[in-house]
Amino acid sequence: MLSNKGRLFIISGPSGSGKDTLLVKLFKAVPEIKFSISSITRPMRENEKPGQKYNFISKDEFENMIKNNELLEYNQFLGNYYGTPKAPVIKAIENGDDIVVEVDVNGAAQIRNNVPDCTSVFILPPSLEALKTRLHDRGTESEEKIRERLLCALDEIKRANEYDYVVVNDDIDTALNDLVGIIRLDRLKIDRNLDLINKILEK
Amino acid sequence: MLSNKGRLFIISGPSGSGKDTLLVKLFKAVPEIKFSISSITRPMRENEKPGQKYNFISKDEFENMIKNNELLEYNQFLGNYYGTPKAPVIKAIENGDDIVVEVDVNGAAQIRNNVPDCTSVFILPPSLEALKTRLHDRGTESEEKIRERLLCALDEIKRANEYDYVVVNDDIDTALNDLVGIIRLDRLKIDRNLDLINKILEK
């Protein structure tokens, strides 16, 4: 039984949680889920396309969005802005679509203030050892950079308790099933079914 | 990823919601789920066995349980007591087992006061028409009795908003999948994973 409105799902997870691979699998498995495209002001990289994961806009455009309250959350990092535009998320929810926003713990906290009626999921590595191994296995970064990423990951995990659900990404297919289940079963929550209950009672 | 403790699931649904058939299928599909056996003081019927759905005890025994605060909820109906013993539920949760208690809306409210950390599911018929048809289709009761059951069902549905989830029992296999999903995914809720998060952080 489907409720009419869609829902916003916030997904976060530290570097090494395998969140990105999991999200790619999620959108293949459940193509009707919408994905929020971030607006950012840093230059486009060679392997990127506009409108895929990011919309590349100017600083002026971004600052106008801030001024007009058109963002669900935003952040500044190394002189560039990163943010989640409000309009596409609200439109998806009104259309009855579920929409996923991938953000860090700070972005998640900002979004919860703007859209309290959302569901948030934290992707967790199975253990500290697994996290360390995954950060090392990339093989492209210095020890110092890896150490920095690890501390950053631990800071994020400290705030996992702000989320509604935890998905442990040990076996990726299990994690995918868990994530799909969380999104699908959200439609059974009582606050998404009050219309149906009233419909039965009103007749 | 399993958390250590089990969880109490309250399941309610009016006459005509198909709740009983659904529960029989649930315990076949997921035999590791425990089922809470009610203590009652009415005489055993011919088709009943002690310890299956009910434990048949004396009024004195029941009143002793009330006095010793050994019940999660109880009720009196036509001079007999009906109640949910506390000990087996607490034991199941401590053992890491999920346990289902089937009660009406009044019993559910009492249990929530005693075990706030539980998850409750209301089984709903798909429509008022379906509810009426199902109540008529039993074919064993007078029009007056059916009308009484219908009013009673509507009174219960009015309190569905006290529950965490709604499962619409239109297609029984879909409803079963929904119910199994709710019970399984409950283990991903943040409050059941704080130990795991702390374990990663403490090392």
∠A100-A79-A59 over CA atoms, to 5°?
70
Nearest CA to A83 among A51, A116, A55? A55
Residue A19: both structure tokens together: 């969140």
pLDDT at residue B94 tops 50: yes
| Span A8-34, pLDDT tens digits | 999 999 988 999 999 999 999 999 999
CA distance A109 to A201: 37
Answer whether B200 sits within 8 Å of A170, measured CB to CB: no
- Edge-to-edge, what's the strand order for the sheet holding B38-40? B54-56, B38-40, B80-85, B71-77
Element (H, E) at B186: none
A104-108, B43-47, B170-174: range with lowest mean pLDDT: B43-47
**Confidence at residue A142, expressed as pLDDT on a 0 to 100 scale:** 86
**Confidence at residue A138, expressed as pLDDT on a 0 to 100 scale:** 73
- Residue B166, chain A, CB below 8 Å: the answer is yes
Q: What is the pTM of this model?
A: 0.89
Answer whether B161 sits within 8 Å of A124, measured CB to CB: no
The stretch B43-70 carries a mean pLDDT of 94
The stretch B194-201 carries a mean pLDDT of 91
**Confidence at residue A25, expressed as pLDDT on a 0 to 100 scale:** 97
Nearest CA to A75 among A89, A88, A57, A62? A62
Domains of chain B, start order: 8-202 (3.40.50.300)
Answer whether A166 sits within 8 Å of B124, measured CB to CB: no
- Residue A23, chain B, CB below 8 Å: the answer is no
> Which of A189, A197, A203 comes nearest B164 by C-beta?
A189
The alpha-carbon gap from B63 to the nearest alpha carbon of chain A, in Å, equals 36
Residue of higher predicted confidence among A108 and B129:
A108
Phi-psi region of A69 (alpha: psi -120 to 50; beta: other; left: phi over 0): left
The alpha-carbon gap from B70 to the nearest alpha carbon of chain A, in Å, equals 30
Confidence band, pLDDT 50/70/90 cuts, at residue B141:
confident
Answer whether A165 sits within 8 Å of B128, measured CB to CB: no
Helix axis angle, A143-157 relative to A128-137, nearest 10°? 140
Contact list, A158 vs chain B (CB under 8 Å):
201
The stretch B129-145 carries a mean pLDDT of 85
Q: Give exposure, B21-33, as e/b (b: 16+ Cβ within 10 Å).
A: ebbebbeeeeeeb
A122-131, A152-161, B132-141: range with lowest mean pLDDT: B132-141
Please state, for a pLDDT cut of 70, what percent of chain B lies above it.
Answer: 98
Confidence band, pLDDT 50/70/90 cuts, at residue B19:
very high
Confidence band, pLDDT 50/70/90 cuts, at residue B203:
low
Residue B162: both structure tokens together: 């006290």
Helix axis angle, B143-157 relative to A194-202, nearest 10°? 150
Nearest CA to B166 among A178, A195, A99? A195
Please state, for a pLDDT cut of 90, what percent of chain A lies above it.
Answer: 78
Residue B37 phi/psi, 5-degree rounding, is -95, 125
- Residue B127, chain A, CB below 8 Å: the answer is yes
Which residue of B127, B161, B164, B188 to mutate against A (max A Cβ within 10 Å)? B188
The alpha-carbon gap from A40 to the nearest alpha carbon of chain B, in Å, equals 31
pLDDT at residue A141 tops 80: no
Contact list, B194 vs chain A (CB under 8 Å):
161
**Confidence at residue A95, expressed as pLDDT on a 0 to 100 scale:** 95
Q: How many CA atoms lie within 13 A of A11 on its CB side?
A: 31
Residue A122: both structure tokens together: 């934290």
Dihedral over alpha carbons B21, B25, B30, B34 (to 10 degrees)? 30
**Confidence at residue A1, expressed as pLDDT on a 0 to 100 scale:** 41
The stretch A75-102 carries a mean pLDDT of 96
**Confidence at residue B3, expressed as pLDDT on a 0 to 100 scale:** 54
User: Could you tell me which residues come within 8 angstroms of residue B77 by beta carbon, excluding any fewer than 6 positions away?
Assistant: none
What are the helix (H) ranges across chain B? Answer: 19-29, 59-67, 86-94, 105-114, 128-137, 143-157, 172-185, 194-202
| Span B100-123, pLDDT tens digits | 999 999 999 999 999 999 999 999
**Confidence at residue B102, expressed as pLDDT on a 0 to 100 scale:** 96
- Residues paired with B150 in a beta bridge: none
Per-residue CA distances from A202 to A135, B46, B168, B189 (Å): 57, 40, 17, 34
CA distance A37 to B198: 33
Compare all CA atoms of chain B with the CA of A130 and give the residue at the minimum distance. B200
Contact list, A163 vs chain B (CB under 8 Å):
190
| Span A33-75, pLDDT tens digits | 999 999 999 999 989 988 888 999 999 999 999 999 999 999 9
A1-5, B164-168, B171-175: range with lowest mean pLDDT: A1-5
A95-109, A152-166, B165-179, B188-202: range with lowest mean pLDDT: B188-202
The alpha-carbon gap from B167 to the nearest alpha carbon of chain A, in Å, equals 6
Which residue of A185, A187, A202, A203 to mutate against B (max B Cβ within 10 Å)? A185
- Residue A159, chain B, CB below 8 Å: the answer is no
Confidence band, pLDDT 50/70/90 cuts, at residue B2:
very low
DSSP state of B113: H
- Residues paired with A35 in a beta bridge: A100
